[in-house]
């Protein structure tokens, strides 16, 4: 078994597929964190959207019905988070946790009552997304690398570029960054910081919703209890590792995606315990958190005391 | 005549629960003048300016801007009326450059909504040049000096086309030389047709820069005068309502044996930069040693190192013959070193707790206040009531939360707790910040009393007048070093100003 055999075209494709949900929700987290909103509730938004997506796709036998329902679920969950945090003044962390617990219990309950199923729900009537053949890539050397993915991979690239532009080159972006870094300065400049916080929260609901829909309607067409499986939290860690910037978050998400892709690959090559492989993203999360800690420590590097310390 | 009045606040009344912050205040500023608004802390200056700037709404009264009645119910309205305010606490985004801060919310952009950063930089540089100051468009505010940050704040108001600038205690953070530079800027602004309201409690500055002055006390206007027709003494008595003596009554110090000897002390700040660079100083029994200097020159880190709140990087702190460098705060306190910290609300007190809980902060674990880990509530009450009496803490009872006390009374809680422990060495950092004049006198007297009773005192203060009046010897700190030791009786303010700016002789 050579390493070269692990790193081939299929692992590249698997990398992008694994990265997409984390990157999309991670960029949602980045926008929130940049505006000073610690949005733990992304996990619950993803889960609600994943369920709503499956439910609508099953009911209407249409993937776009599922898509719409998922987004609505994400937005409503985000609105609940905003209501708790900004309108009622609850602690953001507690509001987020409440939403996550509520989403887990709520989707489990609904699945059992509506579908009469426990654990997971799968049905041929559920319509999922089909891969897209990108016409302008056809025939080029990039085709095997970048064509025939489903929407999430392309959305991830578009989002990264779009958000990067918004973040650094529009008034909205500077307003978001100012709100997160010094809300008084933002208010003083006539920026309504509460409105900014609502905006990033609603936007995060949209992205987390989309990310959640892709979980249940893309590579799989099913809903399983707790299927977001910590991706919302991993997105939060990715955004923190990426300094809450769009490109930074994208890069950090690739790291998680790589871990995932290698895990999947190793599973096929070695007789590894699949539960060990499934643990990889979470182990990586701990590793990244340690790296963030080390990075912060390195930033404060005491200046050495030398003769030239006094000019 | 009416059209020459830029601001007219008419019969403004503003009440907070329990306090009348402004009572029938009438305040007029002529177009193109420099108008000083003076008064003690809590006199109502800030409230009045917050009303003008749309942060607060008056309960009664009218606001006329350029002769026109206006409803200013949010900051945006004030900005649109051409009013700009430079707060005492700067409102800058640390990771943004000067132009990014100045243009925030109103950056020039193209039809697609993309910000034209280059255009913004050019615009800012042009405005700065018009008023005779320089900006470095690539310097982030986190790396900028206080003076540069302040100029950025002023530019921010100009960028938003302010014609009336309110400067809230702008000189509090500046050296005398930087203050002079600021005054030049203010004069240029007025020459260019702007109107400036200058809030301060430093009367010398009023006489130097202002055309007219309004004095406030206890929420009411005490008088309006032209500076050429008044004097510091007259303004001071209007401000306080009685004659103030700017001197602290004390005899010459009779220092005895050495209590503290700091040798070649080096300390890093939270960012890992060198804040204290080889400071040596000694304090003897029976003297008050002062540390003067503009804030941010290592004084805070020096005090934190002496009190165990910050690790030292090199050098020794010898206290009664023992090196206590990098020892724990609790250990240091056990050795009878008291600390009045500069940040009263975060370090000095737990404002959510009651007066008595704060008063026993250093002694609750000891007999007689507790036995076997259980409070003796009766003894605590007796102890706390006695301190309340002795230190004149004005509160209905000792169960009141500290946050509901005025700044002066909060500080008295800190002072009472610290000085009641019979300290051998007292380290007082900015002990009278945000405290009104009456209580400033009381705190100064207590520090002198500590000295006369055989204590050693280190007084660190950014208020030059305070250090000069209270301390027996003064070291001037600049960029982490003590650049000069002086006898406060033998130097004048302008000389001190040069030392504070790092000019040694």
| Token duo for residue B379 | 């003894």
Question: What mean pLDDT is predicted for residues A208-220?
Answer: 88
Do B36 and B122 lie in a common domain? yes
Do B332 and B415 lie in a common domain? no
- Residue B152: inside a domain: yes
Among B95, B107, B113, select the one facing A181 at the smallest CB separation.
B95
Determine contact: B313 vs chain A, CB below 8 A.
yes
Asked if pLDDT for residue B1 goes beyond 50, the answer is no
Kindly report the three-state secondary structure assignment for every residue of A114-162: HHCCCCEEECCCCCCCCCECCHHHCCCCCHHHHCCECHHHHHHHHHHHH
Do B284 and B352 lie in a common domain? no
H helix runs in B372-425, sequence order: 377-390, 407-419
Do B30 and B91 lie in a common domain? yes
Q: Are strands B314-319 and B322-323 parallel, antiparallel or unpaired?
A: antiparallel
Distance (Å, whole) CA A236 – CA A292: 12
DSSP one-letter string for A197-266: HHHHHHHHHHHHHHHHHHHHHTS--EEETTTTTTHHHHHHHHHHHTTT-HHHHHHHHHHHHHHHHHHHHH
> What are the residues facing B65 on neighbouring strands?
B7, B68
b/e burial code for range A31-58 (CB count within 10 A of at least 16 → b)? bbbbbbbebbbbbbbbbbbbbbbbbbbb
How many contacts (CB atoms, under 8 Å) link A and B?
87
Are A105 and A112 contacting, i.e. CB atoms less than 8 angstroms apart? Answer: no
A128-137, A268-277, B304-313, B417-426: least confident range: A268-277
Among A177, A299, A303, select the one facing B268 at the smallest CB separation.
A303
Question: What mean pLDDT is predicted for residues B166-176?
Answer: 82
ipTM > 0.85 for the complex: no
End of a domain among B361, B394, B421? B421
State the pLDDT at residue B247. Answer: 67
- Residue A48: inside a domain: yes
Do B438 and B324 lie in a common domain? yes
Asked if pLDDT for residue A158 goes beyond 90, the answer is yes
Determine contact: A190 vs chain B, CB below 8 A.
yes
Do B10 and B112 lie in a common domain? yes
Do B72 and B213 lie in a common domain? yes
Taking alpha carbons only, the member of B339, B276, B293 closest to residue B173 is B293
State the pLDDT at residue B244. Answer: 52
| Token duo for residue B487 | 């006898």
Distance (Å, whole) CA A245 – CA A27: 8
Higher pLDDT, B353 or B147: B353
Taking alpha carbons only, the member of B223, B148, B239 closest to residue B440 is B239
The one-character DSSP state at B401 is: B
What CATH number is associated with residue A236?
Answer: 1.10.3470.10
Which strand (E) or helix (H) includes residue B206? helix B203-209
- Residue B229: inside a domain: yes
Question: What mean pLDDT is predicted for residues B247-257?
Answer: 84
- Residue B18: inside a domain: yes
State the pLDDT at residue B2. Answer: 43
- Residue B216: inside a domain: yes
pLDDT-above-90 percentage for chain B? 53
Asked if pLDDT for residue B266 goes beyond 50, the answer is yes
Question: What mean pLDDT is predicted for residues A192-201?
Answer: 93
Asked if pLDDT for residue B384 goes beyond 90, the answer is yes
Global pTM reads 0.75
- Is the bond into B368 cis (omega within 30 degrees of 0)? yes
Higher pLDDT, B312 or B246: B312
What residues 423-482 of chain B have any CB closer than 8 A to a CB of chain A?
Answer: 481
Which among A172, A174, A179, A192 is the top mutation candidate for probing chain B, defined by the most B β-carbons within 10 Å of its own β-carbon? A174
Asked if pLDDT for residue B246 goes beyond 60, the answer is no
- Residue A300: inside a domain: no
Do B18 and B79 lie in a common domain? yes
State the pLDDT at residue B251. Answer: 85
Distance (Å, whole) CA B505 – CA B70: 54
End of a domain among B240, B263, B294? B240
Are B213 and B235 contacting, i.e. CB atoms less than 8 angstroms apart? Answer: yes
Question: What mean pLDDT is predicted for residues B393-417?
Answer: 87
Determine contact: B375 vs chain A, CB below 8 A.
no
Do B286 and B316 lie in a common domain? yes
Taking alpha carbons only, the member of B312, B316, B220, B313 closest to residue B260 is B316
- Give chain A's length: 311
- Residue B342: inside a domain: no
Distance (Å, whole) CA B201 – CA B214: 11
Asked if pLDDT for residue A2 goes beyond 60, the answer is no
pLDDT-above-70 percentage for chain A? 95
Distance (Å, whole) CA A63 – CA A50: 12
State the pLDDT at residue B3. Answer: 47
Are B465 and B435 contacting, i.e. CB atoms less than 8 angstroms apart? Answer: no
State the pLDDT at residue A170. Answer: 93
The one-character DSSP state at B487 is: -
- pLDDT tens for residues B29-49? 999 999 999 887 678 888 899
Do B365 and B310 lie in a common domain? no
Asked if pLDDT for residue A47 goes beyond 90, the answer is yes
Measured between CA atoms, the residue of chain B closest to residue A165 is B114
Asked if pLDDT for residue B417 goes beyond 50, the answer is yes
Q: Is A222 exposed, middle or buried (0-12, 13-18, 19+ CB in 10 A)?
A: middle
Question: What mean pLDDT is predicted for residues A104-127?
Answer: 86
- pLDDT tens for residues B436-493? 777 888 899 999 999 999 999 999 998 888 899 999 999 999 889 999 999 998 988 7
Contacts with B86 from chain A: Cβ below 8 Å: none
Domain count, chain B: 3
| Token duo for residue B328 | 């724990």
End of a domain among B219, B240, B261? B240
State the pLDDT at residue A274. Answer: 74
Give the structural domain span for A184: 3-132+148-295
State the pLDDT at residue B180. Answer: 86
- Residue B290: inside a domain: yes
Measured between CA atoms, the residue of chain A closest to residue B265 is A305
- Residue A137: inside a domain: no
Question: What mean pLDDT is predicted for residues A66-85?
Answer: 93
Nearest-CA distance from A195 to chain B in Å?
Answer: 14
Do B324 and B351 lie in a common domain? no
Measured between CA atoms, the residue of chain A closest to residue B95 is A181
| Token duo for residue B350 | 């737990």
> What are the residues facing B283 on neighbouring strands?
B260
Q: How many CA atoms lie within 13 A of B133 on its CB side?
A: 25
Taking alpha carbons only, the member of B307, B254, B314 closest to residue B280 is B314
DSSP one-letter string for B292-345: E--TTSSHHHHHHHHTTSS--SEEEEEETTEE-TT--HHHHHHTTEEEE-S-II
Question: What mean pLDDT is predicted for residues B142-149?
Answer: 83
Nearest-CA distance from A199 to chain B in Å?
Answer: 16
In this complex, do B91 and A182 lie within 8 Å of one another by their Cβ atoms?
yes
- Residue A19: inside a domain: yes
Question: What mean pLDDT is predicted for residues B299-326?
Answer: 93
Asked if pLDDT for residue B341 goes beyond 50, the answer is yes
In this complex, do B104 and A302 lie within 8 Å of one another by their Cβ atoms?
no
Question: What mean pLDDT is predicted for residues A217-221?
Answer: 83
The overall longest dimension of chain A from CA atoms, in Å, is 78
Kindly report the three-state secondary structure assignment for every residue of B234-275: HHHHHHHCCCCCCCCCCCCCCCCCEEEEEEEEEEECCCCCEE
- Residue A89: inside a domain: yes
Distance (Å, whole) CA B333 – CA A251: 49
State the pLDDT at residue A1. Answer: 47
- Residue A141: inside a domain: no
Give the structural domain span for B284: 250-336+423-505
> How many C-beta atoms surround the C-beta of residue A253 within 10 A?
29
- pLDDT tens for residues A278-298? 788 788 888 888 888 888 878
Question: What mean pLDDT is predicted for residues B348-359?
Answer: 93
In chain B, % helix, strand, coil (3-state, to 5) comes to 35, 25, 40
In this complex, do A165 and B106 lie within 8 Å of one another by their Cβ atoms?
no
Domain count, chain A: 1
Do B503 and B481 lie in a common domain? yes
| Token duo for residue B49 | 């300016």
Question: What mean pLDDT is predicted for residues B342-347?
Answer: 86
Contact partners, residue A294, CB within 8 Å, separation at least 6: none
Are B30 and B213 contacting, i.e. CB atoms less than 8 angstroms apart? Answer: no
Among B93, B115, B277, select the one facing A185 at the smallest CB separation.
B93
């Amino acid at each position: 078994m050579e390493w070269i055999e692990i790193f081939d075209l299929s692992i590249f494709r698997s990398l992008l597929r694994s990265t997409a949900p984390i990157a999309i929700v991670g960029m949602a987290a980045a926008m929130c964190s940049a505006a000073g909103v610690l949005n733990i509730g992304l996990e619950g938004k993803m889960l609600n959207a994943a369920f709503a997506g499956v439910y609508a796709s099953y009911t209407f036998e249409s993937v776009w019905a599922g898509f719409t329902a998922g987004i609505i679920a994400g937005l409503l969950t985000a609105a609940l988070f905003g209501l708790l945090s900004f309108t009622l003044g609850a602690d953001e962390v507690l509001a987020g946790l409440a939403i996550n617990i509520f989403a887990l219990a709520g989707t489990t309950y609904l699945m059992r009552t509506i579908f009469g199923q426990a654990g997971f729900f799968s049905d041929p009537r559920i319509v999922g997304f089909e891969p897209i053949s990108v016409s302008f890539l056809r025939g080029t050397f990039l085709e095997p690398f970048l064509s025939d993915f489903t929407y999430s991979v392309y959305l991830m690239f578009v989002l990264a570029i779009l958000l990067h532009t918004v973040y650094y080159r529009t008034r909205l972006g500077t307003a978001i960054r100012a709100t997160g870094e010094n809300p008084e300065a933002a208010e003083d400049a006539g920026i309504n910081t509460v409105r900014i916080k609502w905006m990033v929260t609603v936007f995060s609901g949209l992205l987390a919703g989309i990310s959640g829909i892709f979980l249940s309607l893309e590579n799989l067409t099913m809903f399983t209890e707790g299927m977001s499986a910590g991706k919302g939290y991993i997105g939060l860690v990715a955004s923190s590792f990426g300094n809450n910037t769009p490109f930074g978050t994208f890069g950090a998400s690739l790291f998680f995606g790589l871990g995932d892709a290698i895990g999947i690959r190793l599973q096929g090559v070695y007789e590894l315990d699949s539960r060990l492989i499934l643990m990889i993203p979470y182990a990586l999360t701990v590793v990244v958190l340690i790296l963030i800690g080390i990075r912060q420590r390195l930033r404060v590097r005491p200046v050495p005391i030398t003769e030239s310390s006094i000019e | 005549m009416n059209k020459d009045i830029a601001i007219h606040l008419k019969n403004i009344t503003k009440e907070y629960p329990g306090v009348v912050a402004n009572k029938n205040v009438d305040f007029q500023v002529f177009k193109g003048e420099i108008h000083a608004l003076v008064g003690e802390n809590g006199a109502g200056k800030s409230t009045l300016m917050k009303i003008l700037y749309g942060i607060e709404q008056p309960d009664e009264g009218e606001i006329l801007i350029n002769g026109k009645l206006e409803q200013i119910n949010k900051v945006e309205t004030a900005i649109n009326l051409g009013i700009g305010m430079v707060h005492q606490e700067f409102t800058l985004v640390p990771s943004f450059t000067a132009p990014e801060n100045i243009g925030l919310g109103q950056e020039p952009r193209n039809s697609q909504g993309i910000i034209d950063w280059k255009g913004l930089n050019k615009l800012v540089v042009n405005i700065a040049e018009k008023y005779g100051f320089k900006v470095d468009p690539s310097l982030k505010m986190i790396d900028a000096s206080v003076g540069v940050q302040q100029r950025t704040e002023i530019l921010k108001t100009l960028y938003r086309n302010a014609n009336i600038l309110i400067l809230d205690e702008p000189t509090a953070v500046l050296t005398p030389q930087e203050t002079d530079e600021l005054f030049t800027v203010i004069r240029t602004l007025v020459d260019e047709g702007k109107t400036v309201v200058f809030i301060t409690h430093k009367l010398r500055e009023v006489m130097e820069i202002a055309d007219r002055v309004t004095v406030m006390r206890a929420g009411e206007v005490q008088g309006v005068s032209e500076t050429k027709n008044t004097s510091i003494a007259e303004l001071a008595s209007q401000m306080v309502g009685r004659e103030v003596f700017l001197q602290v009554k004390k005899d010459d110090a009779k220092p005895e044996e050495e209590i503290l000897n700091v040798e070649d002390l080096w300390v890093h700040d939270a960012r890992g930069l060198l804040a204290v660079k080889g400071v040596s100083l000694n304090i003897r029994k029976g003297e008050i040693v002062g540390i003067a200097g503009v804030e941010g020159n290592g004084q805070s880190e020096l005090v934190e190192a002496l009190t165990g709140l910050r690790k030292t990087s090199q050098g020794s702190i010898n206290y009664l013959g023992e090196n206590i460098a990098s020892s724990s705060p609790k250990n240091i306190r056990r050795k009878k070193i008291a600390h009045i910290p500069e940040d009263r609300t975060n370090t000095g007190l737990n404002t959510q707790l009651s007066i008595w809980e704060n008063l026993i902060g250093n002694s609750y674990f000891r007999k007689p206040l507790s036995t076997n880990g259980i409070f003796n509530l009766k003894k605590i009450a007796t102890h706390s009531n006695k301190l309340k009496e002795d230190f004149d803490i004005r509160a209905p009872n000792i169960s009141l939360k500290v946050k509901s006390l005025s700044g002066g009374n909060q500080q008295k809680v800190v002072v009472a707790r610290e000085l009641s422990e019979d300290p051998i060495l007292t380290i007082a950092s900015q002990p009278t910040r945000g405290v009104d004049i009456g209580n400033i006198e009381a705190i100064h007297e207590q520090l002198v009393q500590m000295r006369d009773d055989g204590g050693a005192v280190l007084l660190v203060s950014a208020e030059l007048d305070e250090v000069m009046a209270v301390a027996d010897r003064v070291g001037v700190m600049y960029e982490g070093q003590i650049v000069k030791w002086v006898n406060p009786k033998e130097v004048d303010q302008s000389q001190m100003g040069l030392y504070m700016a790092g000019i040694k002789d």
